[in-house]
Amino acid sequence: MNTEELIKRDIKNIWHPFTQMKDYENEAPLIIDRGKGIYIWDTDGNRYMDAISSWWVNTLGHSHPRLNEAIKRQLDKIEHVLLAGFSHVPAIELAEKLVELTPEKLTKVFYSDNGSTAVEVALKMAYQYCQQMGKPQKNKFVALKNSYHGDTIGAVSVGGVDVYHKIYKPMLFDIFQAESPYCYRCPMGKNKESCDIECMGSVEEIFCKHHGEIAGIIVEPIVQAAGGMIIYPAEYLKRLRKLCDEYKVFLIDDEVAMAFGRTGKLFAFEHAQVVPDLVCLAKGITSGYLPLAVTMATDEIYRAFYDDYEKLKTFFHGHSFTGNPIAASVAVENLKILEEEQVIESLPPKIEALRSNLEKFRELDCVGDIRQAGMVGAIEVVKNKETKEPYRFEERIGHKIYKQALKRGAILRPLGSVIYFMPPYAITEEEIRQVVDIGVDSVKAALY
């Protein structure tokens, strides 16, 4: 394969996501040929450790024999069929499994095909529920600063990352925005020792004043991922659940990035022992194989839509590839693997290896914060450790570190000045040591 030629053809016709295409004048995209476990290889045969699970989707590792087999089995039966008026075994099995694995209150599974749509569905369900239950004035949402819920307009409306979202403001619906539980840069000026989740006050204030207009609050559980792998205490979710009950506001739990073991539990909400009203799932649901998403709802929500057709309470929402049989069959197999091979139960030593290795960043005076939740580890690079002065985004410090890491054979795609490790669970403790060492060396090479 002629890599030069492939790059030319790529750039000629492909407009890449989250990419300033002009950058490709100097840095060509890597053309990936194959993958196995935590590694991917480019067309020149160079090997890279996929330390970000291919944008957080690939939980078990690339080219997993059981997942490959599941696709092949399903492919010879039916590749796709609509899910309105029709159903199929993989969709039925997956829904059963998800209902079994989640708390009793979550009884219904609505399929779509990506994380953004799972979020759109949850927002529309919460909204329509209020409309149909005689509370039409409850038509707004609360979201947090630094939140990311996807790139479609509804999902962007509840987003809180200015670089991605600000320009679209005139296109978006209005929301109430609460403070982000960003412990390193605490909006309340507290630190770990003095914190009593004071930032919850910002949610409470909004609920107190406006609960009559609020249908739901949407949050990323435990980790505000795209906002910079901002990790917050489970106690926050606990208190949020209480506030939601008190003010009759739906708790929408966007588990798109964190479900299926990423934080060390099957679902991140389990850390807080709370039950959300709506749960959004995507990314790791197929272990990164195929696009599939789910919005789980309670019976209470489902019931508000259940009536004679002419009452017009139907949830008129669906995508062409909703609940695709091949994707659903991979998801079913993924859940079987997690269970049968005790994948999540086997994570603690790896989580501990990540924790102890991340300590190596402590000595670098450009690393302001080290944070971790299960199989997510992150460091925040700063200009001044004392004042926490950040790098300006134009300095692209994360990108410089990323390029250094690529040279050393690891993919550490940054979020601004945050470098994170989010590898497939197939990674070994030794490989965790290797990739963190590459991280340390890359930070040094980029900054010193």
Q: Are 439 and 361 in contact (CB under 8 A)?
A: yes
CB 112, min distance to ligand PLP, A: 10
* Residue number with CB closer to ligand PLP (114 or 128): 114
Q: Which two tokens stand for residue 415?
A: 């979020």
* Residue number with CB closer to ligand PLP (256 or 332): 256
Q: Are 380 and 185 in contact (CB under 8 A)?
A: no
Binding mask 341-380 for ligand PLP (x = CB under 6 A): ----------------------------------------
Residue 256 interacts with ligand PLP (CB under 6 A): yes or no: yes
According to DSSP, the residues that pair with 269 across neighbouring strands are none
Pairing mode, strands 250-254 and 278-281? parallel
What is the full DSSP assignment across 77-120?
T-S---SSS---HHHHHHHHHHHHHS-TTEEEEEEESSHHHHHH
Q: Are 202 and 127 in contact (CB under 8 A)?
A: no
* Residue number with CB closer to ligand PLP (119 or 197): 119
CB 285, min distance to ligand PLP, A: 10
CB 260, min distance to ligand PLP, A: 13
* Residue number with CB closer to ligand PLP (150 or 368): 150
CB 151, min distance to ligand PLP, A: 6
Cα dihedral 203/204/208/211 (nearest 10): 40
Residue 84, C-beta contacts closer than 8 angstroms, at least 6 positions apart: 318
CB 116, min distance to ligand PLP, A: 3
Residue 252 interacts with ligand PLP (CB under 6 A): yes or no: no
* Residue number with CB closer to ligand PLP (141 or 148): 148
Q: Are 158 and 141 in contact (CB under 8 A)?
A: yes
Site residues for ligand PLP, 97-136, by CB under 6 A, read: 114-116, 119
Spatial CA neighbour of 425 closest among 291, 326, 290, 284 = 284
CB 230, min distance to ligand PLP, A: 12
Interface with ligand PLP (CB under 6 A), residue from 60, 156, 161, 226: 226
* Residue number with CB closer to ligand PLP (274 or 366): 274
* Residue number with CB closer to ligand PLP (57 or 130): 57
CB 2, min distance to ligand PLP, A: 32
- Calculate ∠ Cα 12-14-18, nearest 5°: 130
Q: Are 393 and 32 in contact (CB under 8 A)?
A: no
Tell me which stretch binds ligand PLP (CB under 6 A): 73-81, 157-165, 252-260, 414-422. 252-260
Residue entry with tokens 């601004």: 416
Interface with ligand PLP (CB under 6 A), residue from 179, 254, 277, 431: 254
CB 378, min distance to ligand PLP, A: 14
Residue 282 interacts with ligand PLP (CB under 6 A): yes or no: yes
CB 313, min distance to ligand PLP, A: 27
- Nearest 5°: phi and psi at 136? -60, -20
What is the rounded CA–CA span in Å between residue 319 and residue 16? 23
**First vs last Cα of the chain: how many Å apart?**
37
User: Count of residues binding ligand PLP (CB under 6 A)?
Assistant: 14
* Residue number with CB closer to ligand PLP (114 or 180): 114
CB 254, min distance to ligand PLP, A: 5
Spatial CA neighbour of 199 closest among 251, 225, 252, 235 = 235
Interface with ligand PLP (CB under 6 A), residue from 225, 326, 332, 367: 225
Q: Which residues bind ligand PLP (CB under 6 A)?
A: 114-116, 119, 148-150, 220, 225-226, 254, 256-257, 282
